[in-house]
Amino acid sequence: MKIWVVMGGSGEYSDRREWPVRAYTDMAEVQRQILLLTGKGNELSAERDRLRDEVSDRWWDFPSEEMRKTLPDPFIEFDYTGVSYFYYEVELVDDAKAEGRS
C-alpha cells in the first residue's frame, strides 16, 4: 500500500531543514493539505516579516509555542526563504507480513 508523507522545508544549502508533517493514504488529501499548509506558511511568514520590520522583540520567537498548538504544522520553521511543503511517496509495509507472521 502506498502512503504519502507531507514534509515541510525551509532554508537552503547547508541551512536547509526538513521535517515530517503528516502521512496520508489519499493523494487528493495530500494535495489539499499542501495547499492549506502553503497558504498558512505564507501568511505566517508575512506576519513574521511585519513584526521584524516593526523592530518588535517578538519576531525572532514567531510563532510562539502557544500559537504552534493551533497550527496545521506545529513544527513550522522559516527563514528568509519562507517555508515550502512537498511529499514523498513510500510503501507502507505490514510488519506481520514482512516478518512472515501472516
Span 15-53, pLDDT tens digits? 899 999 999 999 999 999 999 999 999 998 888 888 878
At residue 86, the pLDDT reads 97
56-67 pLDDT tens trace: 666 667 777 888
The residue written with cell numbers 513584526 in the block is 51
At residue 39, the pLDDT reads 94
**Is the alpha carbon torsion for 13, 16, 20, 25 positive or negative?**
negative
Task: Flag whether pLDDT at 90 surpasses 80.
Answer: yes
- What percent of the chain shows pLDDT beyond 70? 87
Specify whether the CB–CB gap between 9 and 38 falls below 8 A. Answer: no
At residue 102, the pLDDT reads 55
At residue 99, the pLDDT reads 65
Q: Retrieve residue 101's grid coordinates.
A: 507472521
